[in-house]
Homo-oligomer: A and B are copies of this chain.
Amino acid sequence: MGRWEPNARGRLAEAALKLYAEQGFERTTVTEIAEAAGLTERTFFRHFADKREVLFYGTEMTLDLLTRTIAEAPASASPMDAVGAALESFGAFFQEDPERVRRRDAVVSASTELRERELVKLDAFTSAMAGALRERGTPEPAAGLAAEAGMAAFKVAYAHWVAAEPGTAGRAGEQELPRLVRKALTELQELLADRASV
**Chain A residues engaging chain B, CB cutoff 8 angstroms:** 77-81, 84, 112, 115-117, 119-120, 123, 141-142, 144-146, 148-149, 151-153, 155-156, 159-160, 182, 184-189, 191-198
Contacts and interface: CB of A to CB of B under 8 A. Distances in A.
Contact of A145 (B119, B144, B187, B197): B187
Contacts of A195: 78, 80-81, 84, 185, 189
A123, A185, A193, A195: residue with the most chain B Cβ atoms closer than 10 Å: A195
Contacts of A194: 78-80
A81 B144 contact: no
Nearest to A198: B186
B149 A153 contact: yes
B142 A148 contact: no
> Lowest 7 CB-CB distances: which A-B pairs, in order?
A148-B152, A119-B119, A116-B116, A189-B192, A80-B195, A78-B194, A152-B152
Nearest to A192: B189
B153 A187 contact: no
Given A112-B120, A119-B119, 10 more contacts: A81-B196, A116-B117, A145-B156, A145-B188, A146-B191, A148-B156, A149-B152, A149-B153, A188-B192, A189-B193
A141 B156 contact: yes
A180 to B, nearest CB: 10
A146, A191, A198: residue with the most chain B Cβ atoms closer than 10 Å: A191
B84 A184 contact: no
A93 B112 CA distance: 27
